[in-house]
Structure 1
Amino acid sequence: MSQRAISGIACLVVIVVSLVLLSSCVTPSAILTVAEVEGEIYRQVNEERQKVGLTDLDRDPALDELARQYSASEFSKAVEQSSELVYLLCNSWRVTYSGGAPKVHEETAREQVDYCLENNDLRQAMLRSDARATGLGVAIVGDTVYYAQVFDVLNVADEHGDPVRLYENAQSRDPSWEQLRGFVLNDDTDEQPYILNSFVCTSFATMLHDSAEAAGIRAAYVSVDFGDGPGHALNAFNTTDQGLVYIDSTGQGLNTATSGMTLDGQDTTMDYDKVAYVAIGNEYGLISLDRASAFDYEFYEQWRQQWEDYKAKARIYEQTSDPAELRTLREELEAQASILGKYRWDPMGTVTNFYVHW
């Protein structure tokens, strides 16, 4: 399997638990609305977290909406794949009743929370120590009640198949571009080699994220999907003066760089800190950190065109014999090279989707 294939598996592993239970109808002591059951499940989940020393989860309206869409769709794969659900940890299960249309009642929430506690996968998600917020959705469709609980936790596995757990610093703050640039250049994440099955893109993105948070810089983990092949992981920072900046510090062994000819992949003098340019429907672009002066995708397109112009002019230079013209072309090429640098990072693929997780 290729390096990128392994990388993709490590970057994006989505686990959705869906179980079917059969039970007879129970005469309820009091009928509740699905919204009331959602609220009771939320309250009781926090009670269970308190019992094991975990913090309460906040109720997030956006996660509520995701959970409700998913449960109302009867756990549709299309709904999952077309929303942020594909990147987030989600418990989902359904209960099918016999003997008539189901109704939810006072005991329903307790029954469902107890069921989750008895199921290892559901319990582990409910009691994730790095979860901070959750959303709930309950939907009655026909003879079945669908339950979904979404957590603000990345559903991503590392190179060993274990869940990625990000360090979050409550005191971290958004940096200026110069602060971010200085931090990334001094950080040694990019000095680690990319090693298949050992240290892959999730490792780099997690390492830079945690280093930034430890330094008081607010960081995001970003998952990217491509049209062909596996996905990728990088980081994002919401700078105070330049807005959102994507940083890719994946080290030697994954990305390739060219300057008219392919550079030696073992060239340890290359700096692997890069600004990334991410836009759905466009190639995943990279510019060396010390050469990036703007961060919108239009800048990357202009940069790419400048490289094409440089290469075209270099070909003319190689075929020219007139001394005066050679001198002029050389001066122009040197001026362009002082802006563009010695090499250009090759794009990784066409972005079909991406998710920024703060």
Structure 2
Amino acid sequence: MATSLKIRIIAFITACILIFGIGVGYAFLHSDGTSKSLPILNMAGQEITISEYRDAADPDFNTLIMFLSEDATEDKDYVYPVYTCGDFASRLHDSAEKRGIRCGIVGVKFKTAYEENRSEILNNGSHYLPAYSSYDACRGHAFNAFNTTDRGIVYVDSTGITVEEKEMGNKPYDMIVYAREGEELGEIRVDQVESLDYSYYKLKEGQYLRYRSTVEKYNYAAEILNREIRENNISASTAINKKRELEAMRLNLEQREEYKWIIVGQLGVIDHLQVFW
């Protein structure tokens, strides 16, 4: 009887240890995230901090796109210098890893036109400074990287826009980033991307720039016509004919596929790119 009771007690203790061990192991794997600082500075001059989740794994491309469609990082307001690209990258990283999707942060240094800006970058060592508004002063950028199981590395930029831009009717979007050292950094809206190859971006950029050139010609012609009408330097019949021509041109521009494109280009030529996993 005593032996039987002893065996039962040992079995109970063993079961408790196993249950406790499994619980601790699960909590360890599914922890709230381990905090980690990266050598990427935000506009406040502070290193970006992220939370890493041990069970995060590389997604396939469709899983990544689905996650981006559900995530709302890009909806947050861009507030210079309080909340900028590095902060958005950190937010998207933590959101992805919390969902079990492994994510990295990319630090980019741009080549700059002014020697004093370049020397400031070089003197900063390993830190990646965030972007400024003008190209000549633009020193760096931060965005995210995902190592998809079927399409390889995919760069994503979920940096939002300012309140003023939203009031003008603009909307923030997740962007696929095309980046490689020695080349211009470019971005295309996620739902408008057909290829991840850099050559695809350059092809689309060229097509879009030609479209923009046509738009500028239309705007210039409309401005000239309006000025001639205000100054009475054009006959009524000629003005009517020109208005018809411009209206046809406008309709044609709005019907072209480029009208709905969102492409960001000429942010800078990449001097150095590094991914922090």
TM-score (normalised: structure 2): 0.61
Query: Structure 1 pair 315/253, CA: closer, same or farther in 2 (3 Å)?
Result: closer
Structure 2 counterpart of 1:283: 184
Give the deviation of 1:352 after TM superposition: 0.4
The match for 2:161 is 252
> In structure 1, what is the equivalent of residue 233 of structure 2?
none
Distance (Å, rounded) in 2 between the aligned partners of 1:313 and 1:197: 35
* CA distance in structure 2 between the aligned counterparts of 1:219 and 1:349, rounded to whole angstroms: 24
Find the counterpart in structure 2 of residue 347 from structure 1. 266
1:19-34 to structure 2, matched below 5 A, reads none
1:50 aligns to what?
Answer: none
Change (3 A) 1:156 1:315: closer
Match of 1:188 among 72, 76, 82: 72
Structure in which a larger fraction of residues adopt helix: 2
Answer yes or no: is 1:207 the counterpart of 2:91. Answer: yes
Match of 2:63 among 159, 164, 179: 179
After superposition, the CA RMSD in angstroms is 3.3
Q: Structure 2 counterpart of 1:247, which letter?
A: V
Q: 1:171 to 1:287 in 2, by over 3 A?
A: same
The yes-or-no answer on 1:336 pairing with 2:220 is: no
Q: Given that residues 275 and 289 in structure 1 are in contact (C-alpha distance below 8 angstroms), is that contact kept between their aligned partners in structure 2?
A: yes
Structure 1 residue 291: Cα displacement? 0.8
Equivalent-residue separation in structure 2 for 1:356 and 1:264 (angstroms): 30
Deviation, 1:307, is: 0.6
Deviation of 1:287 after TM superposition, in Å, equals 0.8
Q: Which has the larger radius of gyration?
A: 2
Q: List runs of 5+ in structure 2 lacking aligned partners.
A: 1-33, 113-137, 222-240
1:226 is aligned, of 103, 110, 128, to 110
Letter of the structure 2 residue corresponding to residue 176 of structure 1: D
Q: 1: distance between equivalents of 2:46 and 2:250? A: 55
Instruction: Supply the AA of the counterpart residue of 1:181.
Output: I
- 193 and 315 in structure 1: CA distance in 2 versus 1, 3 angstrom threshold: closer
What is the percent sequence identity of the aligned residues?
30
Change (3 A) 1:155 1:302: same
Moved over 6 A (4+): 315-321, 326-329
Check the 8 A contact 1:314/1:333 in 2, yes or no. Answer: no
- For structure 1, the residue ranges without an aligned partner over 5 or more in a row are 1-128, 132-152, 255-262
Residue by residue, what CA displacement relative to the aligned partner does 1:306-346 show, whole Å, maximum 9, x if unpaired?
1123235556778797x99x979966862433xx6254324
Give the structure-1-normalised TM-score: 0.48
Query: Deviation of residue 173 (structure 1)?
Result: 1.4
